[in-house]
A and B are shown apart, each in its own frame.
Chain A
Amino acid sequence: MARYGMVIDTLKCVGCQDCVIACEAENSVPEGFCRDWITTEAKGTFPTIQMEIRTERCNHCTDAPCVSACPTGASHYHDIGGVVLVNHDECIGCKACIASCPYDARFVHPEGYVDKCTFCIHRVEKGQDPACVSVCPTYCMTFGDFDDPGSEVNKLLNSRRYHSLLPEAGTKPNIYYLT
């Protein structure tokens, strides 16, 4: 059983937003919305300030609260890689999944259903990387299978320090940030 996820090198990410544009083009994201975005976090007090630039999106959590909260089963784990997806024809737009996501990664599509990052599953099924990963000019994003001990994502995690977002939320996110 595969467990797809991403490792993102925050020392390489420059916040150019190519990933954001690629996602919007690939997935026809409606104007005014985004499935991925850039976050800049500054910590500390001058002169000891630390800044991290990172590209964020749905964390495709292993224990996804959005899947648990969904009353119709529209939010589900895909058979391939445990990717968290929304079946548009089953979504009633109750927004319980949005309220349950600690990352605020979901939004209501103008057509009424809830939308979010899919890890470009239509590309992944063909053996390609998600659109955001494939266009990154600094190669800061790596997509792969965490259940495969020899995968590139596992090699990166074994060789560098990393963190995930809000691990205290207990959702077991599948995106890690190298620091």
Chain B
Amino acid sequence: MNEITSTRHNHLIDPSLQIWNWEIPVYLFLGGMVAGMMLIAGYFLFKGRENEENCSCFYLPYISFVLLSLGMLALFLDLEHKLYVWRLYTTFEISSAMSWGSWILVLVYPMLIVNILLKPPAAVVEKFPILNKPKEYFFSNPMRIKSFGVLTMFFGAGIGLYTGVLLSSLGARPLWSSSILWMLFLVSGLSGAAAFVHVIAKNVYERELLAKADNAFLIIELFVIALFIVGLKTATEVQASAADLLLTGDYAASFWVFVIGLGIVIPFIIQILAVNHKIKHTPIAPLMVILGGLVLRFVIVSAGQFSHWFRTY
């Protein structure tokens, strides 16, 4: 027996940590989606698809801009000392993942704006012809647009990676103490973004390509989740116990049903049938993938806060 009794009674700390509610999972989810969209848009630019009139690389930056802003709003709402938010940008703390993230986000916005200016709205260009300059500059040389595509992918990967590193850098929570969490969030973001573009893409080639790509991402995601669990189960006792929170504990129902079942396995089966022309493409499967990605963030953030060095379950 090892029984610990404490007189501590701090709000949001006891009996278990509950400092982050819906805002952080939503922010991580939207950040992952934006990362995935930037990777996809950058890839299409790299592949020289900018000459296609309805290439998704032209409208994904708009959607990314809106989603990222919503994510930043969620992050802002989570702050307890909101009026001091500007303090983030008076310093750069090299050891703080959150400081890295806040500066990466500052760099991503101009990147998205340049992406938007690759095909600015005609009405706006009529009024401000100068806005056509970036388009003329990049389109005058195929290497420039390719390089810009690579840069867009680089920043997209940066955000996706950061959303995972943010949690895994907080080593006090055994569930997050995994060096593979960034990969899980990056692949999940890619799979969610691919599912989203699959639904909204106007170009048939892109729709087919992203349905196939999404299937690959879902398989990789399943593999990374397995590695994440194996990594925890073969680590310290508290980490193995934290993994049990997902496998058999309080979070098992949401993890198995919504993340694995409805979020990965069933949409994968539906999309495999659709890609092989056994059934028609349906927005149901991509929607399930996107919601599965959202639930994944909620489960990881919530269960991670519940996991603790002092406790096993």
Chain A positions within 8 Å of B, measured between CB atoms, are 17, 20, 32-34, 37-45, 49, 56, 65, 67-74, 89-96, 98-102, 104, 106-108, 112-114, 166, 168-169
B98 interface residue (CB < 8 Å to A): yes
Would A32 and B11 count as touching, CB distance under 8 A? yes
Which chain A positions have C-beta within 8 A of B97? 69, 96
* Cβ distance B123 to chain A, nearest Cβ, rounded Å: 39
| Bound form: Cα–Cα A20–B96 in Å | 32
Which chain A positions have C-beta within 8 A of B78? 94-95
Would A41 and B98 count as touching, CB distance under 8 A? no
B125 interface residue (CB < 8 Å to A): no
Given contacts A91-B81, A92-B79, A94-B78, contact A108 B20 (CB under 8 A): no
**4 more CB-based (< 8 A) A-B contacts, given A69-B97, A96-B97:** A39-B4, A90-B84, A92-B82, A113-B80
B12 interface residue (CB < 8 Å to A): yes
Interface residue ranges of B79-96 to A (CB < 8 Å): 79-82, 84-85, 87-88, 90-91, 93, 95-96
Would B4 and A69 count as touching, CB distance under 8 A? no
The 8 Å CB contact of B2, one of A42, A68, A94, A104, is A42
* Cβ distance B129 to chain A, nearest Cβ, rounded Å: 41
**A interface footprint on B117-149 (CB within 8 Å = 1, 0 otherwise):** 000000000000000000000000000000000
The 8 Å CB contact of A34, one of B1, B9, B84, B305, is B9
| Bound form: Cα–Cα A20–B310 in Å | 22
The 8 Å CB contact of B84, one of A89, A102, A166, is A89
**Nearest residue, chain A, Cβ from B90:** A72
* Cβ distance A66 to chain B, nearest Cβ, rounded Å: 9
Chain B interface helix/strand/loop/mixed = loop
B269 interface residue (CB < 8 Å to A): no
Which chain B positions have C-beta within 8 A of A96? 96-98, 170
The 8 Å CB contact of A169, one of B88, B90, B102, B172, is B172
**Nearest residue, chain A, Cβ from B10:** A107
The 8 Å CB contact of B172, one of A34, A43, A49, A102, is A102
Which chain B positions have C-beta within 8 A of A44? 1
| Bound form: Cα–Cα A42–B4 in Å | 6
B209 interface residue (CB < 8 Å to A): no
| Bound form: Cα–Cα A38–B6 in Å | 6
The 8 Å CB contact of A99, one of B7, B10, B173, is B173
The 8 Å CB contact of A112, one of B2, B80, B88, B101, is B80
**Can you list 10 pairs linking A and B with CB atoms under 8 Å apart?**
A32-B11, A39-B4, A41-B3, A56-B6, A71-B98, A104-B8, A104-B10, A107-B13, A112-B82, A166-B309
* Cβ distance B17 to chain A, nearest Cβ, rounded Å: 7
Given contacts A112-B80, A113-B81, contact A169 B7 (CB under 8 A): no
The 8 Å CB contact of A38, one of B1, B3, B7, B91, is B7
Would B173 and A112 count as touching, CB distance under 8 A? no
* Residue in A33, A37, A94, A102 whose Cβ sees the most chain B Cβ within 10 Å: A94
| Bound form: Cα–Cα A169–B308 in Å | 11
| Bound form: Cα–Cα A33–B88 in Å | 27
Would A95 and B2 count as touching, CB distance under 8 A? no
Nearest 3 CB-CB pairings of A with B: A93-B80, A93-B81, A112-B81
Would B84 and A69 count as touching, CB distance under 8 A? no
Interface residue ranges of B258-313 to A (CB < 8 Å): 305, 308-310
Which chain A positions have C-beta within 8 A of B101? 71
